[in-house]
Amino acid sequence: MQVAKPVGRNAPALKYDILSALAVHALSGDKHRQRSVLRITALITTRYNWRSNELSIGREEIARLWSVNERTVKREMAKLRSAGWIAVKRPAARGRVAVYEIDLKQILLDTVDVWRVIGTDFQERMQQEPAEDNNVVPFQPKPAIPPPQGEDVWAQVQEILHNRDPELWSSWFRHLNEAERAGGQVTLIAPSRFMADYIAQKWPARVLAAYARIDPSIRALRIEAAD
C-alpha cells in the first residue's frame, strides 16, 4: 500500500490528517486504546518536531504531561516501542534527555481500518503518491519483489516488514535469514558485515516491532554476518 509521506517538507499539510486518524482509531477501541492514543497525541501536539521527526523529552516531563508516575511512563513507552510507533533516536545521557522518533507511517498503516469512517476523500488523500519534481526524469521502476509466504514466524515478520516499506525491505530486510530464536532473543544472519552493522544501527526497533506482532516474547535482537 502506498501511503503519503508523513514527515519532512510536506508534514505540516498532513499533521491534521494524522491526528484525525489517531482520534478516530482511539474512539473505535476500548478505554485502554483510547488512553494510549491520547498519551501519544499529547506528546505529538506538545513536543514533536514534524520536520525533523524528533521528540526531545525526558521521562519526568512525560510523567508530568500525562499526570502519571515515571513507572507508568516506562511501561507505556515500552508498549509504544513494541507497536513500532516510537523508537529511540538518541538515548538519554548526562545533562541531555532522550530523543525519540515517531514512525508516523506505521501509525497510518495501523489506523487504515478507520480511514473509510473519516471519508473517501481522506482515503484517497492518504494513499496518493507524493508529488514529483517535474524536472526529474523518472526511471523505469523495478518489478516488485513479493515477500516470502508461509506460516512460520520469520515469514510473517518478513511480510510485515514488506508491507511497512516494500523498497526498504527489497534493499535490506529480504537478505536476512533467521538463525535462532530462543530465550526472548532472535539472531538474524546478513550476507555481509556491512549489511549486518548497518541494519543493526538503523532499524533494530522496526525489526523488533515486527516480531512483537507475531511473537511478543522476542525483546532482543542480534544481527551477525555470514562471512
pLDDT digits (tens, 9 = 90+) for 54-68: 999 999 999 999 999
The superfamily in CATH containing domain 153-225 is: DnaA, N-terminal domain (3.30.300.180)
pLDDT digits (tens, 9 = 90+) for 101-132: 998 888 888 888 899 899 988 888 777 654 44
- Residue 34 clears pLDDT 80, i.e. is over it: yes
Which architecture, in CATH terms, is 11-121? Orthogonal Bundle (1.10)
Residue boundaries of the structural domains of the chain: 11-121, 153-225
Q: Is 196 within 8 Å of 190 (Cβ atoms)?
A: yes
